[in-house]
């Protein structure tokens, strides 16, 4: 049985005051919940502060992105080692917003994935197709390409210390969630793709679903056989919504 993960991706939202009230309530709720890890990924400036508000052993800190380089003249960038130093255990990589707005190619995503693991962190690797790609019938090709860009670069054994997240672009922030069946279909595709290289690793791999997950659809999504939790955007900014989603992860 794979242990669920429910991760909050705050994106470019929040402030110190909101961080305090939100994280305190989430930490208290998650504390002692069986079978689920809660991960909170605030913007960089709040990482240390948010980490300091966490006391539950199943609540962890994550970064939303990291640089593809270890150090050097890269103004504005933050390294995997730096976020590890301030308490992160996870880092998101390959989010469609990074791919689309910041030109992150499969090669850059693969490089970042390796950096994250080299710093001792667990990558949350996001993959997902656009509406166009789905309508043109290339959803599977797109997902497999995105997964293999990293699985090939990183060596399949590194998938043992990684988490995947399927986030269909058409479902992100739109209120239009993939149906449990649509999500399950893609999660199964991802797991079978990994299984071609290692059935053990595929069996143990946590694959999260992201895209308009709310309190009222989380239970149904998470009850699918290949869905092991969620990566939550909008609903992670509301303590009541997010806690209900975490609770769905513990069922």
Which tokens sit at 139? 């959803």
Looking at the Cβ atoms of 51 and 62, the one nearer to ligand 13P is 62
> Which residue lies nearest ligand 13P, judged by its C-beta?
233
> For 86, how many CA atoms within 13 A lie in the half-sphere containing its CB?
22
Which tokens sit at 205? 């791999």
Q: Is 210 in the site for ligand 13P (CB under 6 A)?
A: yes
**Segment interacting with ligand 13P, rule: CB under 6 A, options 76-84, 167-175, 187-195, 242-250:** 167-175
Among 97, 104, 129, 167, which one carries the catalytic annotation? 167
Does the annotation count 95 as an active-site position?
Answer: yes
Q: Is 65 in the site for ligand 13P (CB under 6 A)?
A: no
**Segment interacting with ligand 13P, rule: CB under 6 A, options 22-30, 156-164, 190-198, 231-239:** 231-239
Q: Is 127 in the site for ligand 13P (CB under 6 A)?
A: no
Residue from 83, 194, 213, 248 binding ligand 13P (CB under 6 A): 213
Looking at the Cβ atoms of 72 and 103, the one nearer to ligand 13P is 103
Q: Is 211 in the site for ligand 13P (CB under 6 A)?
A: yes
Does the annotation count 185 as an active-site position?
Answer: no
Where along the sequence are the contacts to ligand 13P (CB under 6 A)?
9, 95, 167, 172-173, 210-213, 231-235
Provide the annotated active-site residues: 95, 167
């Amino acid at each position: 049985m794979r242990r669920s993960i429910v991760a909050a991706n705050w994106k470019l939202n929040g402030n110190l005051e909101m961080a305090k009230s939100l994280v305190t309530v989430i930490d208290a709720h998650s504390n002692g919940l069986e079978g689920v890890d809660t991960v909170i990924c605030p913007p960089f400036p709040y990482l240390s502060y948010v980490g300091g508000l966490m006391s539950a052993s199943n609540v962890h800190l994550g970064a939303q992105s990291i640089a593809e380089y270890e150090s050097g003249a890269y103004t504005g960038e933050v390294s995997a080692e730096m976020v590890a130093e301030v308490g992160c255990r996870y880092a998101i990589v390959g989010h469609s917003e990074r791919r689309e707005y910041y030109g992150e190619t499969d090669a850059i995503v693969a490089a970042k994935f390796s950096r994250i693991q080299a710093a001792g962190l667990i990558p949350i690797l996001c993959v997902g197709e656009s509406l166009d790609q789905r309508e043109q019938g290339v959803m599977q090709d797109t997902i497999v390409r995105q997964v293999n860009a990293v699985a090939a670069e990183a060596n399949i054994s590194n998938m043992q210390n990684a988490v995947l997240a399927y986030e269909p672009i058409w479902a992100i922030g739109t209120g239009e969630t993939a149906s449990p069946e649509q999500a399950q279909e893609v999660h199964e595709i991802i797991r079978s793709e990994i299984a071609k290289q290692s059935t053990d690793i595929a069996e143990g791999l946590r694959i999260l679903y992201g895209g308009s997950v709310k309190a009222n659809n989380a239970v149904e999504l998470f009850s699918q056989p290949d869905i092991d939790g969620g990566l939550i955007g909008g609903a992670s900014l509301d303590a009541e919504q997010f806690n209900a989603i975490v609770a769905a992860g513990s069922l």
